[in-house]
Chain A
Amino acid sequence: MEDLTYTHTAPRPAGGTRPMAIIGVVASGNLEVLAERVLPDAECRVEIRTAAEGFGDVWNAVIADFVERHSPGGIKFSINDGGARPDTVALRLAQAVRLLEVTP
């Protein structure tokens, strides 16, 4: 297992008001993303525990692209990864941000 953490500044806070959202399942080629609105508005952090070691550069690129596209300010993302491909990771992160916007 490998632990990775990426911290970014975000130009805008994430949309919606939901305090928490979760999406995905920890299975082969899949991952779960827990999104919590617990950080200052301009901050975004992604904490990853992954079964696939040695892919830090790919994670770094996927997270940077995600933050640039969605600006999820104020959100801490916690990821349990079962070896998902980068496109699946990007999809789950986008789904998590969307879920935070849905009215409960």
Chain B
Amino acid sequence: MSAASAEQDRSASWYEASARTRVRLLLDAGSFREFIGPQMREVSPHLKVFNLPEQFDDGIVVGRGALDGAPVFVAAQEGRFMGGAFGEVHGAKLTGLLRAARDLKSVPVLILFDTGGVRLQEANAGELAIAEIMRAVIEARLAGVKVVGLIGGRAGCYGGGGLIAGCCSALAVSEQGRIAVSGPEVIETNRGVEEFDSKDRALVWRTMGGKHRRLLGAAEAFADDSVTSFRAAALGLLVTASGFDLQTLNAEQARLEERLQKFGTCQDAIDIWRAAGISDAESVPALPADPFIALADKVWRVRHDAR
């Protein structure tokens, strides 16, 4: 494939693309080498018990490749297979990749999240996988490895995926890429419709969507919904993402305390945006990517200290 046609393909929607397409287009053309590929048939040992179909890669693609000539490890979840959920094999593939990065010390990791959280049919194994992955992320970061999360898929990044994302060195998110632990329906089921109306899509997007996560400082970069934009964001974050030591954790703690102090009494995301100094807060949801990125960079320009 020529460089020109690779560039052309990169205009593809991140949201619409499959995990394999995202990996192929994100990395330098032809550079991806998969670990434990589909032909190895490392499928879930649990799904057949529930009479459910398996996928040959168990919903995650892991391997190595090059980003602008530099080596990277990459993991991509397939959000359309069981909501991108973490099962035993799915989780073990990501754990193994992170441990390889930890041991090598010099190769960063990109995690292309697209997940609803733990796979209910293998809940115990899935929960254990989340814990193992979080530990592996922290161990890799302690060894000096940058772990960058890219979030813009149809399943968003929920449940244990939200916890893992919180452990990463930095995150890039698109408007479509929601980040949270409990999803809208879960909150409504447990706390009632007065607490959170999951059918109010505008409420869901402005509470969990990428714009709010960026404005809150939970994501360090905002990407438009294209492979080009996520590639640029990943390249930027691999340079700017902070290391991991006591100072980082103290700065993160201070940032979160300040956030609670400033926004703790706000009832809605729009109140938070207003309190953050955005005068025309109601216009944020409809803002196109470029002016939004400029706005977010203004709000968070000085916050490269934490995480």
Q: A34-B39, A104-B30 are in contact. Are A25 and B53 (CB under 8 A)?
A: no
Q: How many of chain A's residues touch chain B, expressed as a range?
A: 10 to 19
Does A71 sit at the interface, judged by CB under 8 A?
Answer: no
Q: Which residue of A lies closest to B83 (CB)?
A: A27
Q: Which residue of B lies closest to A1 (CB)?
A: B51
Q: A22-B38, A34-B39, A36-B39 are in contact. Are A51 and B52 (CB under 8 A)?
A: yes
Q: Which residue of A lies closest to B30 (CB)?
A: A104
Q: Which residue of A lies closest to B48 (CB)?
A: A1
Does A78 sit at the interface, judged by CB under 8 A?
Answer: yes
- Residue among B30, B39, B41 facing the most chain A CB atoms (10 A cut-off): B39
Does B80 sit at the interface, judged by CB under 8 A?
Answer: yes
Does B105 sit at the interface, judged by CB under 8 A?
Answer: no
Complex contacts, A80 vs chain B, CB 8 Å = 53-56
Complex contacts, A51 vs chain B, CB 8 Å = 51-53
For the complex formed, measure the closest distance between the CB of A52 and the CB atoms of chain B, giving whole angstroms. 10
Complex contacts, B53 vs chain A, CB 8 Å = 1, 26, 49-51, 80-82
Residue contacts A-B, CB under 8 angstroms, 21 given: A1-B48, A20-B37, A20-B39, A22-B20, A22-B56, A25-B55, A25-B78, A25-B80, A26-B55, A26-B81, A27-B80, A27-B81, A34-B38, A34-B39, A34-B56, A50-B53, A51-B51, A80-B53, A80-B55, A80-B56, A104-B30
Task: Give bound CA distance, A36 to B39, whole Å.
Answer: 8
Complex contacts, A25 vs chain B, CB 8 Å = 18, 55, 78, 80-81
Task: Give bound CA distance, A32 to B41, whole Å.
Answer: 13
- Residue among B20, B37, B38, B48 facing the most chain A CB atoms (10 A cut-off): B38
Describe A's contact surface by its main secondary structure.
strand
- Residue among A1, A36, A104 facing the most chain B CB atoms (10 A cut-off): A1
Does A30 sit at the interface, judged by CB under 8 A?
Answer: yes
Complex contacts, A50 vs chain B, CB 8 Å = 53
Complex contacts, A22 vs chain B, CB 8 Å = 20, 38, 56
For the complex formed, measure the closest distance between the CB of A18 and the CB atoms of chain B, giving whole angstroms. 12
Complex contacts, A78 vs chain B, CB 8 Å = 41, 56
Task: Give bound CA distance, A1 to B51, whole Å.
Answer: 6
For the complex formed, measure the closest distance between the CB of A48 and the CB atoms of chain B, giving whole angstroms. 10
For the complex formed, measure the closest distance between the CB of A67 and the CB atoms of chain B, giving whole angstroms. 22
Complex contacts, A82 vs chain B, CB 8 Å = 53
Give 18 new A-B contacts, CB below 8 A, not counting A1-B51, A27-B80, A32-B55.
A1-B48, A20-B37, A20-B39, A22-B38, A25-B80, A26-B53, A26-B54, A26-B81, A30-B80, A32-B38, A34-B39, A49-B53, A49-B54, A51-B52, A78-B56, A80-B53, A80-B55, A80-B56
Task: Give bound CA distance, A36 to B41, whole Å.
Answer: 12
Report B43-59 CB contacts with A as 1/0, cut-off 8 Å.
00000100111111000
When A and B form their complex, which 9 residue pairs have the shortest distance between CB atoms, in order from nearest?
A: A26-B55, A27-B80, A25-B80, A51-B53, A22-B38, A26-B53, A80-B53, A26-B81, A34-B38
Task: Give bound CA distance, A82 to B51, whole Å.
Answer: 12
Complex contacts, A104 vs chain B, CB 8 Å = 30
Q: Which residue of A lies closest to B78 (CB)?
A: A25
Complex contacts, B81 vs chain A, CB 8 Å = 25-27
Complex contacts, B78 vs chain A, CB 8 Å = 25
